[in-house]
A and B are shown apart, each in its own frame.
Chain A
């Protein structure tokens, strides 16, 4: 199976900061990479699909990039409501998820 490694596991940032979360696959996943946001006690919510496509209704401060094995989720200006855990997920083979990055306010 394809292993997904996210870094960092915990990220502290201030409101207004530009935030970058990383996700690395154990092999080339050909941009078949999605990002989810999960707030405490809630189900995951799709943010970005196929590396850089913004899901309907998601604020434009969220963006994704990457290719091959390395992918990034960027929040251009962190807002208080962005506090959550973020998971990447590949679907080049059967779906697997990263361990998550917990984003908190500094």
Chain B
């Protein structure tokens, strides 16, 4: 059974760095073809893909946010991390992690999401 769960600070101040963790089970990010992405959704709005990391450690970023994003994984391939620097109010959103397979392009398993509010 594949499950993913996001965790984060809940609230942080503008200009700070947001750190998020995606913990998953039921698959390993060491398995060839596996990819974990971060996707966010402001309340009442659409979805925005942010970044991804694959089984080989290759990283992919949304070009419009690339300078602020860093995605990584732990050595046991059970967690993926996302850091967003210099946050502002526009980064307030629910952040999801989701699984896909290289070349498949669809997100078949999603976490429940973690709400992050940027406020002074």
Contacts and interface: CB of A to CB of B under 8 A. Distances in A.
Contact of A89 (B47, B62, B96, B108): B47
Chain B facing A: main interface SS: loop
B93 to A, nearest CB: 13
B104 A87 contact: no
Contacts of B60: 94
Given A46-B106, A94-B49, 13 more contacts: A1-B64, A36-B107, A42-B112, A43-B96, A44-B47, A49-B104, A49-B105, A87-B46, A89-B107, A91-B106, A94-B62, A97-B48, A97-B49
Q: Which interface residue of B96, B105, B110, B111 has the most chain A CB atoms within 10 A?
A: B105
Range, interface on chain B: 20 to 34
A94 B66 CA distance: 12
A34 interface: yes
A79 interface: no
B26 interface: no
A98 B113 CA distance: 19
A16 interface: no
Interface in A48-106: 49-50, 55, 87, 89, 91, 94-100
Contacts of A87: 46-47
Interface of B: 37, 45-49, 60, 62-64, 96, 104-108, 110-113
Interface residues of A, number: 22
B46 A97 contact: yes
Contact of A98 (B46, B107, B108, B111): B46
B63 A95 contact: no
Contacts of A55: 108
Contacts of B105: 32, 34, 49-50, 91, 95
A49 B110 contact: no
